[in-house]
Amino acid sequence: MPELRGNLTGIKDSVQREISLLFDFPVGSDEFLPYELAQALCRFTAQIRREIALYLSRGGEVLDIAIGQKDNVPLADLSQRRNENRLRRVRCIHTHPAGQSMLSDVDLSALKSLRLDAICALGADDDGSVAGASVCYLVPDQEMGYKPGPVMVTGARALSHPKWMEAIWVNDQPLAPQEQLTGTQTERVYLIGIDSDRSLDELASLAESAGAVVVGRALQAKSAMDPKSYIGSGKALEVALDVQALEADLVIADDELSSVQLNQLEELTGARVIDRTTLILDIFALRATTSEGKLQVSLAQLKYRASHLIGARSALSRLAGGIGTRGPGESKLEMDRRYIRRRIQILSTELKELERQRAIRRKNRQQSDIPVVALVGYTNTGKSSLLNRLSGADVYVENLLFATLDAVSRKVTLPDGDSFLLVDSVGFISKLPTDLVEAFKSTLEEAALADVLVIVSDAANPEAQQQRQVVESVLHDLGATGQPRIEVLNKADIAGENSHIAISGAIMVSARTGEGIPLLMDQIAKILRDSEREYGLFVPFTQYEALNELRKQGRIVKEEHEDTGTRVTVRLKPVAMMKLRAQYKELFSQEKANDR
């Protein structure tokens, strides 16, 4: 039997023999640390009041046991590796008296210098119970070969789960030649959620829109999120192992989380964590091009940050480092609060001015009696492609969520010569952040105040029906429920006869091929004309300038020239009729109106 080493002075022989029995402790090759072994190490630590280090091979053999001082233990340079460029195939388990389970800088330095598979610290309470555990793996690094990964805090019972050993095997895989030669700045993200696989699929699309690559995902089906850790601490520890094994840079949660949940998840997974709201705000910031769009995104981001400052003390403390700035972080917290309040006030003022200008432009448009047709729908249903097809414009189109952020409007001329303003705005999405809706209120109002809504659905998307329900909910919240509507099922060229959504009276179109576009234009024209009334007027030569105004404000469908003037049949909208009546009272004194 191997012998104990280290500081054995003052330890009874009987106790040494008991500790030595741990060399024969049965450890499975798929067990990182059996809980019974963790209990024994902590019990002996409390008994001798010294740290104990135990070394395990990947096969489960106890290679070495060392006794240290009260606050340190010598770490041995053991190795079972077959290649100098690989890990040593040995992990170190050591105890910390007084219940302190966090790994120290010395521990992490030893992990790197000894090239261990992993290092684990167990907190031993004075009564010999296990207070907790923290683990760190040595992970591959493109420049350094290997480096310490994130420190994961866990319960000792969880360390018997096979995933902890699986992570070691993944970390010890040799880097592929291409990976050794070239690095990438693309973020590797891991997704977590409690809703459904469908919701995680959408979250994956959002992550890809932000330029990330999804390397893994975990669904913990729950009726409500855990108030502390969102998915539950047990599931979070499983995620931590996956994150480590897959070398994920970032964990993204599928719901908006509190600062407490974010902090707890970061501690449990050992990785940076953001929520769905942060991801959507990031995409909006990436896509905003106009000054109004950038202001709206900045305002939403600041409001979100303000609501998440409380509870972020540890993160703020880490930010406030260096001589003259050390402290618990409270002063930094207050500084951030004041800064954010001031920035929100400034941005709100600037945004109100832009909203005032938008309102003026909208009023001028209404006075000119140009009807507005708004394209609305779920993000990435092809609204911008449809705008390009209908108007001949060249608006940016990409197969990404939120490719269009800023409102775009183009004038479209109908075959009969009439025209309307076609407006395309930001797409809708489920769980749309409240702060974002509020910040983009003036932009979204284009839909609420439009004369006609063209609601675009993606006929080729299996989730089209659920997406349409989200669109209806957002339109209801915006108060856009009274206008005439045209339901459009886009991407008919892809869906064919297998449309994933059925809506009575909907028009199947393809913005890419032009299929169904003439029918859509006819439907728009019909609705616009339904709001007109037909008037029979006689325009004398003495007021012939009125004829030009009638042509500008309405649509002349019949014109007969007589000896003293011209008799016309004209279709006018109520606003245009009121303007002309005010200007040419005598012209309308004998008019004949006919609703059609």
**pLDDT score for 53:** 93
**pLDDT score for 190:** 95
- Phi then psi for residue 313, to 5 deg, are -60, -40
Residue 515: which pLDDT band, with cuts at 50, 70 and 90? very high
CATH assignment of 184-285?
Answer: 3.40.50.11060
**pLDDT score for 404:** 56
Query: Which stretches does DSSP call E strand in 7-72?
Result: 52-57, 62-67
Residue 13: which pLDDT band, with cuts at 50, 70 and 90? very high
Q: Is the pLDDT of residue 254 over 90?
A: yes
DSSP 496-561: TT--S---TTPEE--TTT-TTHHHHHHHHHHHHHHT-EEEEEEEEGGGTHHHHHHHHHSEEEEEEE
Average pLDDT value over all residues in the chain: 81
Contact 123, 93 (CB under 8 A): no
Any residues with CB less than 8 A from the CB of 147 and at least 6 apart, and which? 112, 138, 139, 141
Consecutive H or E run containing 114: helix 105-114
Query: Cα(247)–Cα(180) distance, rounded to whole angstroms?
Result: 15
Q: Is the pLDDT of residue 481 over 60?
A: yes
Tokens of residue 80, six digits? 């079972």
pLDDT in tens, 177-220: 333 333 345 788 999 999 999 899 989 988 988 888 999 999 99
pLDDT in tens, 375-419: 998 888 888 889 889 988 765 555 556 655 556 788 888 877 778
Top-ranked range on mean pLDDT: pick from 46-60, 290-304, 365-379: 46-60
Of residues 335 and 239, more confidence is placed in 239
pLDDT in tens, 111-157: 888 889 999 999 999 999 999 999 999 988 766 678 899 999 888 88
Return the CATH architecture of domain 370-529: 3-Layer(aba) Sandwich (3.40)
Q: Which of 161-175, 242-256, 360-374 has the lowest mean pLDDT?
A: 360-374
pLDDT in tens, 339-380: 677 778 888 888 788 778 767 766 665 555 678 899 998 888
Contact 451, 483 (CB under 8 A): yes
Query: Cα(115)–Cα(78) distance, rounded to whole angstroms?
Result: 9
Residue 308: which pLDDT band, with cuts at 50, 70 and 90? confident
**pLDDT score for 77:** 52
Residue 175: which pLDDT band, with cuts at 50, 70 and 90? very low
Top-ranked range on mean pLDDT: pick from 221-225, 328-332, 471-475, 519-523: 519-523
Tokens of residue 164, six digits? 């902890």
Query: Cα(19)–Cα(40) distance, rounded to whole angstroms?
Result: 9
Kindly give the interhelix angle for 291-307 and 276-287, rounded to the nearest 10 degrees.
Answer: 160
CA dihedral 328, 332, 334, 339 (to 10 degrees): -170
**pLDDT score for 334:** 58
Residue at 309: amino acid letter: L
Whole-structure pTM value: 0.56
**pLDDT score for 458:** 92
Of residues 141 and 562, more confidence is placed in 562
Query: Cα(91)–Cα(119) distance, rounded to whole angstroms?
Result: 6
CA dihedral 61, 63, 69, 75 (to 10 degrees): -110
Return the CATH architecture of domain 532-595: 2-Layer Sandwich (3.30)
Q: Which of 18-22, 396-400, 435-439, 513-517 has the lowest mean pLDDT?
A: 396-400
pLDDT in tens, 70-96: 555 555 556 544 455 678 889 999 999
Residue at 67: amino acid letter: I
Of residues 471 and 329, more confidence is placed in 471
Query: Cα(395)–Cα(402) distance, rounded to whole angstroms?
Result: 13
With a pLDDT cut of 90, the percent of the chain lying above it is 27
Residue 330: which pLDDT band, with cuts at 50, 70 and 90? very low
Nearest to 516 by CA among 524, 405, 87: 524
